[in-house]
Structures are given as structure tokens and as C-alpha cells.
Chains A and B, each alone.
Chain A
């Protein structure tokens, strides 16, 4: 691999990293797992003047639930950390379902959750999951200033976020819910590590047999990650009865904006979205018979 020339910096604190980003004036890229950035540099699609490698910053590799149920994922938490977690599924079934489907085992070992969301690839799995969960990104700027941005607003378009050039995404946050978390993630790919032909994330809050909150995120079927709000709304205050499920499936397919390409036709991808919404919800009903 022969990228363009770049400076390499390896700060050991978040503050130092932010100072380097500020100094680079928009010409820097943050290196976490590097599983998207390095290939882009190889192809010279990305030619940052400075690479700010955050891997030496201690204390960012966590994922944990707060006492109130808020779930926090640090900037250096790898996909594999989530995949191998024995406690994640109980807290975050949608995240747990998606973790083993991200890319391939090699990428999962290095790549990070937060980095993937920041990369804002419409084919990225985690942005869909976070959209479904109404997740947030915590961005830190100079002077310790922090702001919490809902992922629906954080992703501004394909490969674009609202992160300022002097901000570092330090943490992803999934808010707590009062009821029970349920949901899942399904992705159609031709081969492990392939970009999604289509992917669907569904996150529900169940109270008894009633859906209190719902979110649906769609992967790879639009120019950016899609939040299927109408489809999700069709599930709220229902018991996942067949009509509601069918409604949600139809609305999710309708809001998809896939392109026909060598992974499949647009019509087919919409069909897969609807099918996956149905399958995830059928699985929720299987796991939570009280909601049936």
C-alpha cells in the first residue's frame, strides 16, 4: 500500500488528540481501528495530511451499562469486544444481533464501533443500529467542551457527519428504557465481509406485551443510513399483531431508496427490507411470548 505522504501523531490523552485535530485545521483524520480509513488511504480516496492515532489513549476501550441502564461504548471498543460479550445480549439485543454480522472476523478484531458510526458509510451496520436505538454520540472539543448528538442528526449524509474538525467522538451512548429491550438485526450479504445488499435494525421497548417505543434503521438501501420512522411508529402501542407487523414492513420498504446494482435490483432490496422487518419481529415474538 502506497498512500500519499502524511504526518503521524500518537497522542496519549483525549485533550492532546483534540489539540492536534485543532492544529491540523480540517486536514487530519482520526485513526482508531483503521478498517475503513486505511483502505481509503491506500486507494488515495483519502489523503489526510495528519493521522491522529488514538490507540494509545487509555480508558476508551470500554462498553458498559450504567446503573440506570444507559449503555456506553468507548471510542476504542472493538466490534469483537461487543461480539464476544456475554452480557451484551441481555442489555442490548439489537447490538448483540448486529455484532457478529459486522464485516468479517479480521475487521471486527481491529475496527471500532464509534469509528464505524463516524465513518457514516450508508453500508455501515452500526449507524442503523444506533438510529433504531435513538443512540447518541458524545463529541468532545477544545477546552473539555462536550456535546451529545443524536445519531439521526450526527450522520449528515454519505460519509458525512456534523462532527467539527476539532472534535473527537469519545463515546456512543444508548439511552436507558423503562421496559424491556427487544429487537434484532438482519443483513443480506453475498459473502461474509461483503457490503450489505440490505440490512435492517429493529429496536423495541416492550412493556408487558405492548410496544412502548420502536426504532427501525436501514442499512445499504439509500444514500445514507435511513431511519424508518413511520414504520417504527406503526409498531408503537401495538402487540405486534399481524396487521401492524405488515404495516411496518411495508412502510420500511417504502422509505428505502436503494439503487439497482450488482448486489440486486432496487425492487429486490425493498422486498428484502420488508422480509427482514417481518423476520425480526417474528423472532421478537418467539423470544418474548408475552408479547405475542
Chain B
């Protein structure tokens, strides 16, 4: 299985516990299960340690963040750090939202059309075109960043959100194309397309009548994937925008950088900026995993 195969099916596979569990209940298996459980709990603590410290620190007063008290619960709980972080980050949050939503939708639509053609309406050289698109996923953006700025300036694209939407749409096309191509290749039988063609349906008709209605889970996957990566992007933000028109990652870097860092506010800020993607992850985690699987080719 190439990692790229799996969208929804991998998400389903991951949840499938093997039916046969072999021998149960003899002493050694029970002991090994206890050991496994203890190990899992230790790893759980390891992963959650940063979370604990972020949450408690974000509710502390500035006198309370001394070295000795770092791992203790707040002496007095305060929401001041949250208020401070929110005041700074609010405009960035709004910009990130107006940026990530359209960028995710546009790239997904283009990806869907491309994926359909590459999976089910192939033409001579389609594989070459696929490789040509796929490579775009892996490039370090540093290699295009300098002339990209020049190009956007020459095209007179409005600075800030519009520039970033354009950039994320263009460089998001490869991953969305890949996800949809694999999705259609597993979900839609070739015969359906062929019989539609025999009936004289053209590409647009086939796409609208047969493909689009079954594309919903594909769209959920790409939308989540794109939204998360656009929301979390820092590199494009740093190269293409400034503090006065940049997204939330830039705002957080500003909030927690500089000489005199307000730790409590930084931690509250880290939580605030992570909130939308975490929410998406909690509500739609099933598809999130699907996107990760499909995006296995990407970083």
C-alpha cells in the first residue's frame, strides 16, 4: 500500500480492532497487557505535560510565574493573561479566518476537478502531469519565496490576506489534487464512468451528475487539511506579510517574542491561536486522520 492510497479507508482501517485476539487470559498475556497499559499511560503523561504547564501558566498572575512555582497550580486564578492575549491577537485571528476559509475552499474545488480527471478521465501523458503536480508538494518554499514576492508586487496583488490566499491556493493545489485523485480512484468504479460516456455524457455532465454528489467526504478531508495547514503556516506569513496585515502565527510570534516576555499571556496566546484547529480536530478527528493518511506524501 502506498501511503497515498488511503483516505477514508485508512481512517476506517485504523479504527478496526482485529477480531481475533489469540489466546486471552493466561497469566503471561495478562501481565503483558498490564505492562502495555502502564507504558501507554506514561507516554500519555509525556505528551500531556506541555499541555498541563500551558494551561496552568495561562491563568497565573505575573508574581506567580516565578521559577519555584512553575509547575504548581496558580495561587490566585486570573483571566488577565487571556484578556491581554486576546486584545493583541483578535485582529490576527480575524485575518486568519478570512484567509484560511476561502483558501481551503478554492484549493479543494480545483483539486477535485484535477483529481477526477487524473483518476477517471485520463489522457495520454496523465502520469507525467501527475508527477509534475506532485513534486510541487515537496519543494521548500524558500526556493520560490524571493521571486514570489516580486511577482505579487508586479501583479499588484493587495498586500496581506489576498496575497496569502493566492499563495496558499496555488501551493495547496498539489496536495488537494493528490487526495481527490486517490479518493476517486478508490470510491468510483471505472464502469460507471464508462457507461456514462457510452450514453454520451461529457466530462462536465459526468462530473456534476456522478462525481460531485459522492465527493463530500473527499471535500471534508481536503478542507480540513487545507484549513489546518493554512492556519498553522508561518513561512508564507513571515515572507509575504507584516504585523499590520499578517495572520495569527505572526501575531503569536510577536506576542511571545521581544525582550520582556509575558509568559502567562504567551501561553494563553498559544492556546487561543490553537483553538480553531483543535476544535476542528476534536469535532472532525475521524476525517482529520483521513487527511493525514492521504497527505502522507506531504509534510
Tell whether A pairs with B: no
